[in-house]
Structure 1
Amino acid sequence: MPSPPVADEPRYLNRELAWLEFNSRVLDQADDPRVDLLERAKFLAITASNLDEFVMVRVGSLKLQAAGGGGRRDPAGLTAREQLQAVANRCHRHVGRQYKILADDLLPQLAEHRITRVDLNQCSERMKAAAEQHFRGDVVAVLSPQALHDRRFPMLPGLGIHLCVELRGVAELTPQNMPQILPAGEALPGSAQDEDEPQFAVIPLGRTLPRIVPLPAEKPVSDSSADDAGDSSPSPHEPSFNYVLLEDLVSHFVQDFFPGREVVQCKPFRITRNADVELREDGAGDLLGGMEEVLESRRLSDVVRLEMDGSASDAIRNYLMESFYVDPDYVFRMEGPLDLTYLFGLHGAKGFDSLRNETWPPQRSPAVDPAEPMFASIAAGDIMLLHPYQTFDPVVRLIEEAAIDPDVLAVKQILYRTSRDSPIVAALKRAAERGKYVTAIVELKARFDEARNIEWAREMEQSGVQVIYGIRGLKTHAKVCIIVRREPHGLVRYVHFGTGNYNEVTANLYGDVSILTKDEVLGTDATMFFNAVTGSSHPQPLQQLAIAPLTLRSTVLELIRGETERSRQGQKTHIMVKLNALVDKEVIDTLYEASQAGVKIQLNVRGVCCLRPGIPGLSESIEVVSIVDRYLEHARVLYFRHGGDPQIFISSADWMPRNLDRRVELLVPVNDPAIRRRLREMLQLHFRDNQNAWSMQSDGSYERISPEKKQKRVRSQESLYRKAVKAFQGRKGLQPSTQSVFEPHRARE
């Protein structure tokens, strides 16, 4: 028997710190000189966006736990307060590294390639004049400063950029120097205060004005050197993009808002509000109305983080901290521009294709003939689409064709997240308007997509779609669409199962799997599942599908334990799993048990992994890798050797308590042998990646995997794309046109 783990070693890693470790791996892409420059800037923006959501949700949740007592310990043995402290320390280190990469590497390199952030204090008169013209023409009429009295801030939105202005001097109210109509009962800033007392105003920048303000194609004076001190204009053959950020522009001309006053300092700041506001469904008779209240509550929730310019005075810092009641541990002084998501805008700058990734256009599937209906293609055999290497268009096409096909009787679909101008929602509305029986489960509780889903739900209802607003007490996260079609031999169910959302935009960015089938058993199971969800009833036993929160957990545990038992009997065993997150304690314990029985376990976990691999006597046969590359790895795929008769599944569920116990999820078996083979090859390829893969260590840290001497370089995402290209080209090569003469249709004589 293997020896037990050392007693003082925790069996599980902390979820929050594991997530921050993942975001650090994304940040490593921004710090990797092998990555194209604008892609590095985009990765830095992604880490900032990721951290915003983490603070809103996870830190917000910990704050609530700590306020409620916070004595309960997580599986890693930490209380809520201990987690808050550890997270704050890790976040400060992470933010420091973000801004070091930006200041020391990215901004200088971008400037070398003529993408330059302009300092209005050190630029040409031409640039300064253009900035002033934009300010006076487009900015000053939109923005309004607001005086601050007794720390009564206006209701500022979270994640927006605002300017805090420290003022001095008593203003004399005259028609000439009154810049705006003040709210009733308010005095002009400083008019009722002692002249020496710090006085403050705030200018919310809002979301109407673009944050990146282009300036003329001319280099700032500060960038000139002795070698190019003459003509600073760029060559007409070289692209150039100079810009100033909105907060810098307004700060430079801020005196215009306060005539007769001395502006001591004007510094940008940003607040993050707690977004861990959930609906109390036991008291919500109207879910849609309740979700609107949740959105409003989120807008007014407590501030959990304060970010400000690093050079802000202590007076501004203390004033903001005390006004928003922010924990000092969650006050961040930034040595650079706030909200690095502005770098997404730079990534799209025109004329700089050489600084971006080589384009990988999604390929058409060789199994889908664009000249015939999708129903015919699916009838010929199950189809697997590997996104984004293969286009999501067949899924959209299937639903669009169903909307106008006279033989389609019904469409049933779950929508968790969709795009802003969703063609799938449009097709469902069209189908209902044509008299088809259309039912859509729209998950109103999909975090940060609530407002859009409420809008879609209302629009679809107006078109005649039967809309179900999710399920009481659960989030509906399964990805399934069922189309019932009348055919000569009877009714046929065409089904799409997926690991990703019905969002054609993110399907170009997220690695996911789609399976299109008319398998009779899966179609029957899917219909029974859907009807049970919409009818608030217990589903009858299903033949092949497993459902969370009813049977998915037990099925996964049974599959793992099956490999464990076979290993104990001396059989060859193997588990390969691809997930976004592995957090669930019971699943981790079952994997530990399998490892102790000698099962070979390979886990490809993109984000959070609370399991500790490679510990003697506990998890020494478990390997964990994480791949961070140009596409976000989002698919959930499970492989079990199963005594030489491999079982492979796709799923909408990660292995987290929320997915297994508090969400409606699906685990779908893959029945087609060719598709099983393709998925197994994909899993194996990920474990051979030595370019963008990271190996998890037993302490929760990660080491980048590099090829050994003379070992072939393998980048799994690139290999999958090249395979998709080859597959489609092979299809075209096997089916050349047999028509050698073009014969036009002519009008009847």
Structure 2
Amino acid sequence: MAKRAKKNPSEQSQASNGVAASAAAHGLVKSSRKKLKQDFPDRFLNRELSWLGFNERVLAQAAEPTLPILERAKFLAITGSNLDEFMMVRVGGLKILRQRNPSKQDPAGMLASEQLQAVAERTHRFVERQYELWRQQVGPQLATSGIVEINLSESEGTELRLATERFQQDIFPVLSPQAVTADAFPMVRGLGMHLLVRLEIDAETRLGVLADSADEDGQQRFEWALLPMGRTLPRLMPSASNHRMGYVLLEQLVRHFVAEFFPGRKVLECTPFRITRNADIELREDEASDLLGGMEEVLESRRFARAVRLEYCATASEHAVEFLRQVHDLDPQDLYPIQGPLDLSFLFSLHSVDGFEKLRDEVWPATPHPKIDPDQSMFSTIEGGDLLLVHPYQQFDSVVRLIEEAAVDPDVLAIKQVLYRTSKNSPVIAALERAAERGKYVTAIVELKARFDEARNIEWAREMERSGVQVIYGIHGLKTHAKICIIVRRQSNGIRRYMHFGTGNYNEVTARIYSDVSLLTCDEVLGRDATNFFNAVTGASQPVEMEELAAAPLQLRQRVLNLIEGETQRCMQSGHGRIIAKLNALVDTEVIDALYRASQAGVKIKLNIRGQCCLRPGVKGLSESIEVVSIVDRFLEHARIFCFHQNGNEKVYISSADWMPRNLDRRVELMVPVSDPTCSSRLRDVLNAYFKDNVNAWRMQADGRYEKVPTPKDAAYRVQYELYRQEVELSSIAQSSRRQTFRPVSGSS
């Protein structure tokens, strides 16, 4: 092993000075944070309330009268699915915290109990607005447009006859009622639809029946039964109607005919309800000898986790509500009476019905990248220079095509890839399996702990192993969230590495609706870094210091802080400093304090943050030069892009990581510099465009509220439309140029 050359005295002095300067800077930063805490003790916002504010902005899209009605219905469905996950994960986590560490405060100074109370109050108001919007606007306008929910109690003739046949043939043979009591209530599936049926006990059946409700004289008057709707029956059932499309929800159809399940008994009440269970259950990796088996146990444990919310039809009796509350051990604030259909996710199905194109947004088909020639291999194209793809305006198919070409290319020796979330029938997975079957060295890091995708990832992992793929189940104690693919290819001039770095998952379905960016490159330095990164993850070895890439949890946090601090110092010296960042969430207190210090030094900071933001912008003496905007539009904003001015020598990065403790400290993430002048220029243009939006932009106020940016009558700028328009124009020019070029076809020799 070669020895390192000794440093000369001058170099040693410089190194010592550098260490001393770094230590001094660290001391100044620590002192500065202490002063911030003293001067601005309330400088952080609560992350849970901030997230609820994001969902309120999504609900505002559902209320937007200029949108097509099916798009409004889709946004209403999104608010429901968002809230489901929030309740399972965040509220579930707060309940655990309240039990285990009731005195612990969050950065905003709130106890878990205080957060739960504030969240409950705001969520109840939110749900009321959700269903008011459904009853008064979305539902009626859908009906006016020809999409009608059939009320069976008011139906007759053919409509009722067909509903009866559907029930008798398709539903009655499948479902089974179950007698229940408060002492013997089954473990109902979280987020599953159920019916609670209250039956009157007649004189003949009263003896021997264990009931749990009584009238004033103590005599038992009724008993309970449970009807789970199960998973095999579709919730949305088309129905005959005089309108263009009629539908009945499964629970309403069963509710109408529920007496059929209890012949000879009187049904007093039939209440649809839904339980939400705590999903904030993590694998104890130190106790799991088998990670795959351990994750399967986690999935199973979620089925039996504590309930955190009860949703029920608002017409339910006090008897029914109290019965359900007691058997699930819920607080009154966990009860949500619903004036409308429970679980608004059925609106996703309505959004996709055929024949109602005019009720949806105009389709924006993704365009090919102007430099990607369909007649040329992806390897040749990437060799010609780095490529930046802006999704979903540009096709994610180019990324899939690269992996598919690699799978069959005889010169490709190896493929290495991180998989966090994939689609149901993933072409990427299929390509990796095909490559392994052809004898290539294929390694896939499959993150089994990707919440709510664990079952799918377990299935993929086993399938790939059967195909010969070397499957690595992430890193002990961390989630592997980086978006990276490395293709090692033998060429005439030696081995070359082709890489994809991204901000989104390898999921071609969500790539059509998520706003992300991809970098395709064969840069040698990035190639070395990528290989070192991958080997450290798969080999459980000490990571090698990388030249350009920054990885969490080792270097990424400090690299971000150094970039912010560098901008602060340069601004103090020259009076010029600028930071522009696009993120999904800004929660990390250390990063927020660094941004506050930068603002106090005069750095102009623009933040486009889709969701949670715990920083207060525009506070005098603290954050006067910080602007925070949020864009909620047809595509989910998901890209992470950062730009630091550096006295005109701007540095641009893309990343898989938000500025949150979980990303910086508890996940394997990557931040990638984009050095190619064309690519970095395009990224800066994209970043700047987000601060021009005056159609779907919200500006954050110092108290955490968001105000809609007003739209001028004659100067509307919608950033998602403008980005799409630009890509269409560039793609059209490129295709026109190819059509005008003669391409001779070589004959076989």
With structure 1 as the length reference, what TM-score do the two structures score? 0.92
Equivalent residues of 2:76, 2:344 under 8 A apart: yes
Q: Which residue of 2 aligns with 1:95?
A: 127
| SS in structure 1 of the partner of residue 292 of structure 2 | helix
Question: CA–CA distance in 2 between the matches of 1:421 and 1:359?
Answer: 23
Query: Which residue of 243, 249, 263 maps to 1:245?
Result: 249
Question: CA–CA distance in 1 between the matches of 2:396 and 2:164?
Answer: 46
| SS in structure 1 of the partner of residue 345 of structure 2 | helix
Q: Which residue of 1 aligns with 2:158?
A: 126
Q: Which residue of 1 aligns with 2:65?
A: 33
Equivalent residues of 1:5, 1:615 under 8 A apart: no
Gaps of 5+ in 2: 1-31
Question: CA–CA distance in 2 between the matches of 1:328 and 1:340?
Answer: 23
Q: Which residue of 2 aligns with 1:201?
A: 225
Counterpart residue identity of residue 214, structure 1 = P
Runs of 4+ in 1 over 2 A off after TM superposition: 3-9, 169-173, 186-198, 707-710, 733-740, 742-746
Deviations 1:377-414 (A, max 9, x none): 11111111110000101110111111111000000000
2:291 is aligned with 1:265: no
Shift of the alpha carbon at 1:737? 3.6
2:43 is aligned with 1:11: yes
Q: Residues 190-589 of structure 1: matches in 2 within 5 Å?
A: 196-219=220-243, 240-589=244-593
Question: CA–CA distance in 1 between the matches of 2:233 and 2:260?
Answer: 18
Deviations 1:683-708 (A, max 9, x none): 11000000001000000000011134
Q: Residues 576-615 of structure 1: matches in 2 within 5 Å?
A: 576-615=580-619
Counterpart residue identity of residue 632, structure 2 = V
Q: Which residue of 2 aligns with 1:62?
A: 94
Q: How many residues are matched?
A: 711
Query: Which residue of 668, 686, 706 maps to 1:664?
Result: 668
Query: Which residue of 143, 148, 155 maps to 2:175?
Result: 143
Shift of the alpha carbon at 1:6? 9.9
Equivalent residues of 2:583, 2:640 under 8 A apart: yes
Question: CA–CA distance in 2 between the matches of 1:708 and 1:469?
Answer: 52
Change (3 A) 1:435 1:314: same
Equivalent residues of 1:171, 1:190 under 8 A apart: no
Equivalent residues of 1:595, 1:618 under 8 A apart: yes
Q: Which residue of 2 aligns with 1:734?
A: 737
Counterpart residue identity of residue 267, structure 2 = V
Q: Residues 70-85 of structure 1: matches in 2 within 5 Å?
A: 70-85=102-117
| SS in structure 2 of the partner of residue 336 of structure 1 | coil
Q: Percent identity?
A: 58
Shift of the alpha carbon at 1:151? 3.5
Q: Which residue of 2 aligns with 1:42?
A: 74
Q: What is the Cα-based RMSD across aligned positions, in Å?
A: 2.2
Gaps of 5+ in 1: 174-185, 220-239
Equivalent residues of 2:420, 2:447 under 8 A apart: yes
Shift of the alpha carbon at 1:55? 0.2
2:713 is aligned with 1:693: no
2:198 is aligned with 1:166: yes
Query: Which residue of 702, 718, 726 maps to 1:723?
Result: 726
Equivalent residues of 1:171, 1:189 under 8 A apart: no
Shift of the alpha carbon at 1:570? 2.3
2:716 is aligned with 1:713: yes
Q: Which residue of 2 aligns with 1:231?
A: none
Shift of the alpha carbon at 1:207? 1.3
Shift of the alpha carbon at 1:154? 1.8
Equivalent residues of 2:213, 2:220 under 8 A apart: no
Deviations 1:630-685 (A, max 9, x none): 00000000001111111000000000000000000000000100011101001110
- Range 503-512 or range 106-115, more displaced: 106-115
Shift of the alpha carbon at 1:517? 0.3
Deviations 1:115-158 (A, max 9, x none): 11111111232111111110001000000000003432222110
Change (3 A) 1:244 1:171: farther
Change (3 A) 1:668 1:192: closer
Shift of the alpha carbon at 1:743? 11
Equivalent residues of 1:164, 1:203 under 8 A apart: yes
With structure 2 as the length reference, what TM-score do the two structures score? 0.92
| SS in structure 2 of the partner of residue 610 of structure 1 | coil
Question: CA–CA distance in 2 between the matches of 1:625 and 1:21?
Answer: 13
Equivalent residues of 2:182, 2:326 under 8 A apart: no
| SS in structure 2 of the partner of residue 695 of structure 1 | strand
Counterpart residue identity of residue 338, structure 2 = M
Shift of the alpha carbon at 1:5? 9.9
Shift of the alpha carbon at 1:42? 0.2
Equivalent residues of 2:181, 2:212 under 8 A apart: no
Deviations 1:308-364 (A, max 9, x none): 000000000000000110111010000111001111111112111111000000101
Change (3 A) 1:4 1:57: closer
Equivalent residues of 2:74, 2:347 under 8 A apart: yes
Question: CA–CA distance in 2 between the matches of 1:171 and 1:350?
Answer: 53
Change (3 A) 1:72 1:132: same
Deviations 1:492-549 (A, max 9, x none): 0000000000000000010000000000000110001000111111221111000100
Question: CA–CA distance in 2 between the matches of 1:242 and 1:618?
Answer: 56
| SS in structure 1 of the partner of residue 379 of structure 2 | helix
Shift of the alpha carbon at 1:95? 0.2
Question: CA–CA distance in 2 between the matches of 1:4 and 1:605?
Answer: 23
| SS in structure 1 of the partner of residue 43 of structure 2 | coil
Counterpart residue identity of residue 83, structure 1 = Q
Shift of the alpha carbon at 1:442? 0.2
Change (3 A) 1:4 1:669: closer
